[in-house]
Amino acid sequence: MKTITITALLFLLTVPLLPQTKMNSTDIDKKVKTFLERKEGSWHEANIPESDGKLLYDIIIKNNYTRVLEIGTSTGYSAIWIAWALSKTGGKLITIEIDEERYKAAIVNFKEAGLSDYIDARLADAHKLVHQLKGPLDFAFMDADISTDYFDATAPRLVKGGVYVSHGVRNQNSEYANYLKGLKEFETNFNTGGGFCISKKK
């Protein structure tokens, strides 16, 4: 698993690292760590495991990504890992959730983790909203219903070297997987660990 994870990161590390932001993140680190420790074992709304959260965090930091979209917030566990990384790169996350209860719980979690400033949480149907959002993206994390609709709306916004991560693609020969494999503008890697299917824009 460790080898697979390293392979995944190497796959992504072609974008040169830029200098880290001037932000002193000690206080944020303390607050997020305390929050995550307190909430350990309580993430039951289809949230990703901690190992996947760490992987998201590493990908963002190592590539100095700043403009991030997440589809499928749930109660905000993955968004917290993403936003924690963005607190260091100086970026911002837009995350979309359709379920009002989960959205509300996420808002509380973002506040308690001290990361609200790095997150623009939207209560919306992502199938509609992804077609309305504009502007360049470095990174997209799709963790809702697997659909090429999200990909097609988001892919043109990704910068060269940017990545679209689809979570939960278990069958590498599924219609969705074959669609990604067939795209000339993207290189898609399924053996990345963490249940991530990573499509990188060439």
Contact set with ligand SAM (CB under 6 A):
46-48, 72, 74, 76-78, 96-99, 102, 125-127, 143-145
Residues paired with 73 in a beta bridge: none
Q: Which is nearer to ligand SAM, 47 or 64 (CB)?
A: 47
The nearest distance, CB 107 to ligand SAM, in angstroms, is 13
Q: Which is nearer to ligand SAM, 76 or 91 (CB)?
A: 76
Q: Which is nearer to ligand SAM, 29 or 45 (CB)?
A: 45
Which residue's CB atom is positioned nearest to ligand SAM?
A: 72
The burial class, CB within 10 Å (0-12 / 13-18 / 19+), for 82 is buried
* Amino acid of residue 162: G
Q: Which is nearer to ligand SAM, 22 or 44 (CB)?
A: 44
Six-digit token string for 33: 């760590």
The nearest distance, CB 14 to ligand SAM, in angstroms, is 26
- Can you tell me the distance from the alpha carbon of 87 to that of 69, in angstroms, rounded to the nearest whole number? 15
Q: Give the relative orientation of helices 77-89 and 26-39 as an angle to the nearest 10 degrees.
A: 170
Six-digit token string for 93: 């996350």
**Of 50, 121, 117, nearest to 88 (Cα)?**
117
The nearest distance, CB 129 to ligand SAM, in angstroms, is 7
The nearest distance, CB 48 to ligand SAM, in angstroms, is 4
